[in-house]
């Protein structure tokens, strides 16, 4: 992400939910908590196999909780990760930004 | 590829690669084949746990094969699927459209 975008991001009251291996509902609740505490934007980030869970989270949030949720942006990319044995591998990432009007 | 298929392809100028459980390289090659046979746009579709593999495919294609690949659009959504026991469940989907200049 460019520095400019990063600054813009911090300025605009954005909150981030990082998707891991917990039940999807946990991440949905995390998003809801951000929105209920006044956030206008929430960014959902995931990498590797958690990417599909990020999409699940957004879809469940939209279908079941915030009907007028808007998808502002979806970006994909690659991050280099160093494993415990020192080997470097590439892992795909996704960042989904959602807003509520 | 048949002549008819080739014509249809040129007409719509869009080709679709559906991501399943095969090695990611297979899907990268499928995309390359479409581009090499004249397609300007390729759509990569996946659902459920294959979503992360769709992102992997695009990233590998961009990193290793087509440096100037452009992401035209990423959409996410939900599809209703009927299982073999008649139960209906929702599954997330992703559609990534890439173009080469």
CATH for B54: 3.30.110.20
What pTM did the predictor assign? 0.83
Tell me the C-alpha to C-alpha distance, in Å, between residue B87 and each of A43, B4, B46, B84. Answer: 33, 39, 21, 7
- CB of A51 within 8 Å of any CB in chain B? yes
Domain tally for chain B?
Answer: 1
The ipTM is 0.81
Per-residue pLDDT of chain B (101 residues; tens, 9 = 90+): 556 655 554 545 569 999 999 999 999 999 999 999 999 999 999 999 999 999 999 999 999 999 999 999 999 999 998 888 989 899 999 999 999 98
- Strand-pair category, B14-18 with B41-47: parallel
Which of A79, A55, A59, A20 minimizes the C-alpha distance to B46?
A55
Q: Which residues of chain A are modeled with pLDDT < 50?
A: 9, 11-12
Rg of chain B in Å (alpha carbons): 15
Strand partners, B47: B93
- CB of B50 within 8 Å of any CB in chain A? yes
Distance, CA of B27 to CA of B50 (rounded, Å): 12
CA angle A73, A75, A80 (to 5 degrees): 155
What residue numbers bound the domain in which B30 lies? 3-99
Which among B50, B74, B93 has the least Cβ separation from residue A76? B74
């Amino acid at each position: 992400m460019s520095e400019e975008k990063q600054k813009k991001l911090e300025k605009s009251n954005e909150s981030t939910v990082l998707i891991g291996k917990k039940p999807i509902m946990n991440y949905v609740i995390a998003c809801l908590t951000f929105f209920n505490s006044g956030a206008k934007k929430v960014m959902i980030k995931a990498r590797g196999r958690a990417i599909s869970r990020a999409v699940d989270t957004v879809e469940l949030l939209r279908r079941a909780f915030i009907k007028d949720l808007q998808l502002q942006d979806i970006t994909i990319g690659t991050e280099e990760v160093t494993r415990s044995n020192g080997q470097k591998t590439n892992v795909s990432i996704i960042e989904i930004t959602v807003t509520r009007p």
